[in-house]
Structure 1
């Protein structure tokens, strides 16, 4: 059952995959491992060990974990580990991803309608700024927020509460927009509203409540919120 929603006062967007297209990085990682499952293995390890950092209280920034996960993925795939130069290039590409085609138009519609827009990403601040600049979408956001400030990765509830606090609104007045089921589930558990952007291959977590909004693109979400 979907959680009913009041009009949100702040919209908080995840970056990776929600706004940014990971396809170029997926191709590059798969090529580095010579394996069509390379990206999926690596990205899963990255998310898993970000949660390990949170649960153990042994924090490393997202880029550091991403680098370590490349070596771990090589072991699990029984592949040659990427060289230091290859790892550097892959992380550089991670920081320079394009936006999905629908993103700028959707964000522009929401901004014009008076919604306050924020980011909340697991990416470290330096990477986040590079990602926003490369994608050409920094201008739409009142503030760009990284979990690095609180040293707790999403889906820890404090990460979502941090975003709501910085926006100056209550969690229930905050809408988290994400393309990952775990991120939607985390936001809902923290008392936020949530919107799921159904990027290809991304499912909702079936054991969590349904979000108030579901849309295939940011422009479709904008139509729902403005309707």
Structure 2
């Protein structure tokens, strides 16, 4: 029996976020350039997206490219951007067939013009789909996101549109990139690293964290199912006692 058969489909996490880590190390382990790992990581993305949609996960957010990744060697950054364009073009038909709606968060203006154009086109083309919402975190920094949200709120206060006493957690969340989706209930990180890396810091306040030693190119849908199975066997107390929860 696989993990898919063990999952209680009535208690799925509505939103799963993933830090896709290990492409470079996977490639180096095979004596290849890091870019080879990124190319193979696309296969994992495809399989995990299909797996998430298959069981009924509503939101899947993938840490695709952080704001810090711009500091990598220029040839690797260029290769990743070119890969992003080609992947979008290749996968758009599959997204439509699987009723997946594409979304993106981050400082998208930092993306090369062609990349930004292709991304926006794919988002528009899939906007009518009603299944899984696949969000790519691109040129993304959680700290920068929170600073921008604070700046937006401060401008409203300065303009007299908002009283400081009316600033709440809910208002702050409404000014984040993720204002139109629920917070992740499950965060998965591959490659054996145990850190968050500036990813959805506000949003994962109560998420369950799942770490696996598998490098991203080796991660497949059954690994996603295993993570969800593990999630379903945790007690989520939100500050309460076990007795209160049960």
TM-score by length of 1: 0.41
TM-score by length of 2: 0.39
Larger Rg: 2
Q: Which has the higher contact order (CA 8 A, sep 6+)?
A: 2
